[in-house]
Amino acid sequence: MSCANGNLRLADLFELGRPALMARYGSRLQPHQYQAMSAIKQCRTEQLGQIHRQCPDCGTDNEMPRSCGHRSCPTCQNHTTTQWLERQQAKRLPVDYFMVTFTLPAQLRALAGAQPRAVYAALFAAASSTLKGFGARKLKAQMGQCAVLHTHNRRLDLHPHVHIVVPGGGIDVRRRQFRKLKGRYLFNAFALARVFRARMLAALQQAGLSIPVGMPSKWVVDCRNVGRGEPALQYLSRYLYRGVIRERDLIGYDAAAGTVTFGYQDAQTGQPATRTLPMADFLWRVLLHVLPTGFRRVRDYGFLHGNAKRRLALVQLLLRVWIDNTAERARPPVCCPACHTPMIIIRITHRPRPDP
């Protein structure tokens, strides 16, 4: 049996491919990956219960299965992404922005897959402290940082890196000055890479992890101007609160060959491309990018940190801009199919109890 995507769902692939996945990768699966697989399979099914709505005008009833809400589910968390983007845009300042990308070398990818919590925590700490140090030395000020962890490339290979969006300037709290960056250049990428390498290796050793042999002497840090910051925030928002692949990119499943084909945009050419993988390898790649339970993919530092509202207010005052940190868009209502009036929830039924 072959299936070209009209309605190909990731949940269906987990159901069909679980035996092959367990046979090849079962010994390497971790608890948070089992949780993600279970949530995605049950999402919007009767196993999670129903949401019962009613139209207050015409009385039309509506029942919808509950969603799982898991951050790795490709059909959930769209509203959460919108809210995050609006919060970040509300903090934007009238300065140039830069996106600095810190990438782990290939020699550390296996370690990241086996020990994701420790390695990714070290990645955040090393990257943010590197920028903090450069800001303190070069600008004599505290910078603001919005960091987002990505663990994959477009082909779903493990490729851990963290993007940090940085406003071009910093706050000198003692002198109550905001020091804007002059020109369209932030910091030397090679100098950033040297410091990042040293701090990352030190963080891994401090966490008790063994450094693989053959570590390269030169690492990669990319630093580029992104204008007023909105394009960078839009780019990062696409990967925050959903899985690593959209279901519309699932092209087909070939049962005879036991393969899955998905589409992506080639990073080099910008053209559409496809990749076909054995079912077990495809599902393993999806689960490889599920973050440990409770681990935060997005972290703010400096005057953009959630506990630095007074410092952000000082930046607002010095730059003479209004930064609205309170507005948040409400979740779109479900409208009545008959009269289009927003419906109200009258009850929620949870997971049905198993038969005795």
Q: Which of 8-12, 87-91, 150-154, 327-331 has the lowest mean pLDDT?
A: 327-331
Q: Tell me what pLDDT residue 354 has.
A: 44
- pLDDT above 70 coverage of the chain, percent: 92
pLDDT value for 4? 56
pLDDT at residue 1, rounded to an integer: 45
Whether 236 has a pLDDT exceeding 50, the answer reads: yes
Residue pLDDT, tens place only, 163-194: 999 999 999 988 899 998 887 889 999 999 99
355: confidence class by pLDDT, cuts 50, 70, 90: very low
- Percentage of the chain beyond pLDDT 90 is 58
Residue range 103-117: average pLDDT? Answer: 96
186-197 per-position pLDDT tens digit = 999 999 999 999
Taking only the tens place, the pLDDT of each residue in 63-81 is 888 888 888 888 876 667 7
- What's the pLDDT at 352? 53
Q: Residue 271: which pLDDT band, with cuts at 50, 70 and 90?
A: very high
What's the whole-number mean pLDDT along residues 267-288? 94
Identify the pLDDT of residue 90.
78
Mean residue pLDDT across the chain: 88
Q: What is the pLDDT of residue 162?
A: 97
pLDDT 10s digits, 194-231: 999 999 999 999 999 999 999 999 999 999 998 887 77
pLDDT at 330: 66
The pLDDT of residue 79: 64
- In a 13 Å sphere around the CA of 286, the CA atoms on its Cβ side amount to 30
Alpha-carbon distance of 324 to 321, in angstroms, equals 10
Q: What average pLDDT does this structure show over 19-32?
A: 96
